[in-house]
Amino acid sequence: MKQIGRSIFYGILIILAALQLLPLVWLLFFSLKNNQEVFNTPLFSLPSPPRWENYVKVWVEGDIGRYFFNSVWITTVSVLFTVLLASFATFAITRMNWKLKHIVLGLFMVGLMIPVHSTLIPLFSFFMKVKLIDHPLSIILTNIGFNLPITIMVLLGFYQSLPRELEESAVMDGCSVHRMFFRIILPMTTPVMVTTTIINMIYNWNEFVFVNTFISSDEFKTLTVGIQNFIGQYTTDWGAIGATLMISVLPILLVFFFLSDKIVEGITAGAIKG
């Protein structure tokens, strides 16, 4: 009976996994079709012949290479500063004694309750005054500000589980606070930092509304916004849109596929004391 139950369980999991893959398969087929095939053939029909030139077209003619590069460097900078600043804040809140640490933690947690896009108009007005509209710094600062609370929340449990004896030994050996953080605490938090890095990367890579609002020139647009170039007033190149979507999805899929175990490891690491 156990064997039958296990087989049924794994069978259900396989079916669920296949259902999750169906949208990706559809998107791949969609990206290899022209406009006529998109509307006149079944959803999951194989294009005949596959139009790989859609990918060449979006990369060369659609300037997707520039948007891809912008997405990469803006995401990298945003993630780097978010994880580092969140590590500083979490270390100060959990490992140091000062009067306002609980109030500061509460302020960060309030950030989780604010609807992100409700701040669109205030942020636009602020960036307009400081002349950061149509500048990548507006996107980087927005990414950092809105991702700090969730990053601190993930780091919190892990930092609280670290043994105090390590810090006491380091202080007795004459180690400063800064050196203790960078040489002892930070290396120990690698699993949870990998988790927060992946979470932040997914959020930042897929950001659309803020980029579409704050950035107007093609020089700083990211991949999610660059897709709009293939939508015209009279004609829309659906195959090119599908190819662009596939290019934008692929990096996230690869990172998640190779590092998915790190996400689970980082989230569960803080649940184990010592």
- Name residue 222's amino acid: T
Q: Which has the higher per-residue pLDDT, 196 or 164?
A: 196
Summarize pLDDT for 53-110 with one digit per residue, the tens. Answer: 888 888 887 778 888 999 999 999 999 999 999 999 999 998 888 888 889 999 998 9
Cα 41 from Cα 49, distance rounded (Å): 13
**What domains are defined for the chain?**
1-51 (no CATH), 63-269 (1.10.3720.10)
Cα 248 from Cα 96, distance rounded (Å): 42
- Name residue 65's amino acid: G
For the whole model, what pTM was predicted? Answer: 0.83
* CA-closest candidate to residue 61, choices 229, 200, 188, 219: 229
Cα 93 from Cα 214, distance rounded (Å): 33
Among 37-41, 106-110, 195-199, name the one with the lowest average pLDDT: 37-41
Taking 80 as the threshold, does the pLDDT of residue 113 lie above it? yes
Average model confidence (pLDDT) for the chain?
A: 85
**Secondary structure of 73-100 as H, E, C letters:** HHHHHHHHHHHHHHHHHHHHHHHCCCCC
Q: What is the pLDDT of residue 40?
A: 82
- Contacts for 131 with CB less than 8 Å, ≥ 6 apart: none
Cα 260 from Cα 17, distance rounded (Å): 15
DSSP string, 18-32: HHHHHHHHHHHHHHT
What band does 273 get if pLDDT is binned at 50, 70 and 90?
A: very low
Taking 80 as the threshold, does the pLDDT of residue 265 lie above it? no
For the segment 18-38, the average pLDDT, to the nearest whole number, is: 87
Q: What is the pLDDT of residue 257?
A: 77
